[in-house]
Amino acid sequence: MMPTVPTNDSEREFAGWEHFSHSADIGVRAWGPTIERAFEEAAAALTGIVTNAEVMPSQEVTVACNAPDLELLLVAWLNVIIYEMAVRRMVFSRFAVRTDGARHLRGSMWGEPIDMLRHAPAVEPKGATVTALRVEREPNGLWTAACVVDV
């Protein structure tokens, strides 16, 4: 589990992520002051499933995805990352998301080719699912984004 990381003194600026157990799969839960930040943290949680090693943000990959609502947009975003990790044989450590707040997402991610010895991948994520899917604004103003990832 990754601890929350305050980016300034305001509670609204807290962001972070954690994993949660789910049968043979693993859940990712992230939070942030904006939808975009919560989605960026969810992407970092996805990388945390693969490796605990440092990932150098040396190569940028840009992506876009669409979905009928915010919850399915989270699934689409994570699945785009999983696809790019598999096809490019890369792992990512830094993410930047822009959304229209509802259905469209453009993202950039930075990472490096996977090094089997240094990154020592634990599992290969197969896909983000709708199990335990949740994207919503909490009473404290922070956005939460969560779902189960099939590994």
Burial 57-93 (b: 16+ CB within 10 A, else e): eeeebebebebeebbbbbbbbbbbbbebbeeeebbbb
- Whole-angstrom distance, CA of residue 53 vs CA of residue 80: 22
Q: Domain residues for 88?
A: 5-150
Return averaged pLDDT per consecutive 10 residues of the chain, 151 residues in all: 41 77 90 97 97 97 97 98 98 97 95 97 95 96 96 93
Write down the pLDDT at residue 2. Answer: 38
Question: Residue 137 maps to which CATH number?
Answer: 3.55.10.10
- Whole-angstrom distance, CA of residue 41 vs CA of residue 15: 7
Write down the pLDDT at residue 11. Answer: 43
Write down the pLDDT at residue 22. Answer: 78
Q: What is the pTM of this model?
A: 0.89
Indicate if the alpha-carbon torsion angle 16, 99, 141, 148 is positive or negative. negative
Q: How many domains does the chain have?
A: 1
Q: Which residue has the tokens 């305050």?
A: 6
Write down the pLDDT at residue 1. Answer: 37
- Whole-angstrom distance, CA of residue 89 vs CA of residue 5: 29
Write down the pLDDT at residue 13. Answer: 59
Nearest to 107 by CA among 60, 70, 145: 60
